[in-house]
Structure formats: structure tokens, C-alpha cells
């Protein structure tokens, strides 16, 4: 069972997406803000992160950069796949997420089938 870290400040979005992921065979851990997200990216050893880009304390881009920096200097063997999830769906937003170190981008409202496909590709799982 693959573990997903969902970093999402909106309780309703967090609950809905967590339940859908659980029904699709994922183990899900959640963080309510960016600070928790950075810590849990290492303490929980997830296989993939779904990163809300609009967080109240540290935005998702900064959280992603902190994770990438800790991977680099912590000697982590594999890069943790991170999918940016945001209501901002302009091409500039995709570029910001990519520049921060996100591997993929999924605009809200989430197309769950599309998100699962992206997750499976990053996880190397046949869908």
C-alpha cells in the first residue's frame, strides 16, 4: 500500500480527498499547514505528496523547496514525488509549482481520475 501525504489546509477538501484516496487503496496521512507538511514529509516517509499551493503559514512552493533542500543535504536516495494541487490554474502557476520542485500539477476542482493517473505514473504503478 502506497502512502500519500496530503498537505491541505481546507478541512472539507482534506476530508473528501483523503476518503477517495483511501477507497482507492492508498494509506493517507494529512498535514493542515506547510510547517507540518515539511516535517511529515520526512517523519512519515510517504511515497508521494499532494501539495496545496495556497497554505496559510508557508505557501506550498516554499514547502516544496524546503523538502527538496532537505532531500539534497540529507542524502535521501530518491526524490519524493510532489504533485501541486491548487485552484490557481494559469500557466504561470504551473511554472511556479514546477520551479519550486513539484513534479506534476493538478488544478482544482480536482479531476480525480486524472489525479490518480498522474499519481500512478509518478509511483511507477500500473493503473
Task: Domain of residue 114: give its range.
Answer: 3-123
Residues 59, 86: contact at Cβ < 8 Å?
no
Query: Which one, of 68, 50, 66, lies nearest residue 10 by Cα?
Result: 50
Q: Count of domains in the chain?
A: 1
Tell me the CATH number at 34: 3.40.50.2300
pLDDT at 96 over 60: yes
Q: What is the pLDDT of residue 77?
A: 67
Instruction: State the average pLDDT for the chain.
Output: 93
CA separation for the pair 71, 7 (Å, rounded): 18
pLDDT at 127 over 60: no
Q: pLDDT tens digit string along 19-77?
A: 999 999 999 999 999 999 999 999 999 999 999 999 999 999 999 999 999 987 776 66
Helix/strand/coil for 37: helix
Q: What is the pLDDT of residue 99?
A: 95
Q: Which spans in the chain are helix H? A: 11-23, 34-43, 60-74, 91-100, 112-123
Amino acid at each position: 500500500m502506497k502512502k500519500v501525504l496530503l498537505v491541505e489546509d481546507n478541512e472539507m477538501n482534506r476530508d473528501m480527498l483523503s476518503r477517495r484516496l483511501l477507497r482507492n487503496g492508498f494509506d493517507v496521512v494529512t498535514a493542515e499547514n506547510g510547517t507540518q507538511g515539511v516535517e511529515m514529509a520526512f517523519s512519515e516517509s510517504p511515497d508521494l505528496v499532494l501539495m496545496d499551493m495556497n497554505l496559510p503559514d508557508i505557501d506550498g512552493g516554499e514547502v516544496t523547496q524546503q523538502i527538496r533542500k532537505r532531500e539534497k543535504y540529507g542524502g535521501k536516495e530518491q526524490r519524493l514525488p510532489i504533485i501541486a494541487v491548487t485552484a490557481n490554474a494559469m500557466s504561470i502557476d504551473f511554472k511556479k509549482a514546477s520551479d519550486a520542485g513539484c513534479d506534476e500539477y493538478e488544478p482544482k476542482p480536482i479531476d480525480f481520475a486524472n489525479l490518480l493517473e498522474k499519481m500512478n505514473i509518478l509511483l511507477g504503478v500500473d493503473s
